[in-house]
Amino acid sequence: MTAVIAAPAPKLLTPAQRRRAKIIGIVLLVLAAFTLLVFGIGTEGDATFKFVIPGQSPTEIPDLTVPGAGSSILLAGVLAFLGAIQVTRGFGDKANLVLGIGLILFVLAFLIWAAAGSPLGAFNFTSMLRETVLRSFPIAMGALSGVLCERVAVINIGIEGMLLGGAFMAALVGSTQGPWWGIVAGVLTGGALAWVLAVLAVRYRVDQIIAGVVINIFVLGITSFLTVRLFAENPQFNNAQILKPWKVPLLGDIPIIGDIFFRQTIFVYALFVLVAGLTFGLFRTKWGLRSRAVGEHPKAADTLGINVYRMRYLNVVLGGMIAGLGGAWFIIGSVGRFDENMTNGRGFIGLAAMIFGRWHPIGALGAALVFGFADSLKQVLGILQTGIPSEFLLMAPAIVTVIVVAGLVGKSRPPAADGQPYVKE
């Protein structure tokens, strides 16, 4: 007798999920209409994408030239197709993925329109992606710092201040003692500020949001004051050496990928090591298990013999040191000098990347790359002379932050005890 295997019942969506699925479909249809009317109809000329960085790329790769109007119309058709399916029957659990694909297609249509309408008619795609990885570094450091802190239920709003403080000390020490000591100074400064946060939040149970805001305001004030009183009068203290990119043997010779990932500074390589190490540590070691237990149910963790206070101190200080390394990048890995408020909100964007990445190191890195792309995009658009006002280009990272957090994240759950002080009974 043949056994009949019943097909699994389709997963039922809640009213909120069905409503969000409809909204995603409508957003895709709106993007399709915008792409057709703005980027497609009326666009003249061709767009050329270059994949070779002059003087660096080891392999000659031919340029890719596409028709501006035809390519945008085709992409608009794909967006309309995805939107129609999403509105009528939906993609189920893959709705966020489809929305992400739709946004990528929209950005691609935008780049084609920008290149086709530019006097230059072309831009270097590989160079932009390489710059994306580099500019994502401080955002990723802020996100990883947030992951470490919130995994033990401490909200770290002070990441912006730790980035800024690390940048200031990296400039001061790096200018007088050399770039490597500047990096060490930035890391230690971030750790010291994080220790202050831990004392306020863990020992004295001060509201964690308020404690983080206080750190941000204090660091912004003290660095602005010292910039005027110390660096302006002694410019030799604000002239640090910048570390040059280093090519990884063999890997750096891979076409396109080698230029993007393996011809970077030591900071980017440290980012990859940190993401791999934290992923392994949080989910494959005793320290990671204890950290997650403290973040989810500190009372149960305490009952099992885990020192909740010690774990929170440890993770917050480690997170601050990572943020301090992110601050050192602004000096040793980027411009070589400190300017007032030069972090420009990267710490807050890092928190958004942490949420987008669902409190996971790999997810945080992926989200940071999205924000880094938005940051590098404004530079590309300025080079292409698209006519878009510079004020709108400066808004690009903030706009992407709002879109990602409001539209792509969906339902995500932080650690259960996040932000809650613990009192040992």
Domain ranges of the chain: 15-117, 126-408
80-135, pLDDT tens digit by residue? Answer: 999 999 888 877 777 777 888 888 898 888 888 888 866 766 778 888 899 999 99
pTM for the complete prediction?
0.90
Q: How far apart are the C-alpha atoms of 51 and 57, rounded to whole Å?
A: 9
CA neighbor of 116 nearest in space, from 72, 62, 51, 54: 72
CATH of domain 126-408: 1.10.3470.10
CA angle 366, 323, 419 (to 5 degrees): 85
184-218, pLDDT tens digit by residue? Answer: 999 999 999 999 999 999 999 999 999 999 999 99
Ordered DSSP codes for 308-322: HHHHHHHHHHHHHHH
374-398 mean pLDDT: 72
| Beta carbons within 10 angstroms of residue 22's beta carbon | 14
Cα-Cα end-to-end distance for the chain = 63
Considering only 61-70, 232-241, 380-389, which range has the smallest mean pLDDT? 380-389
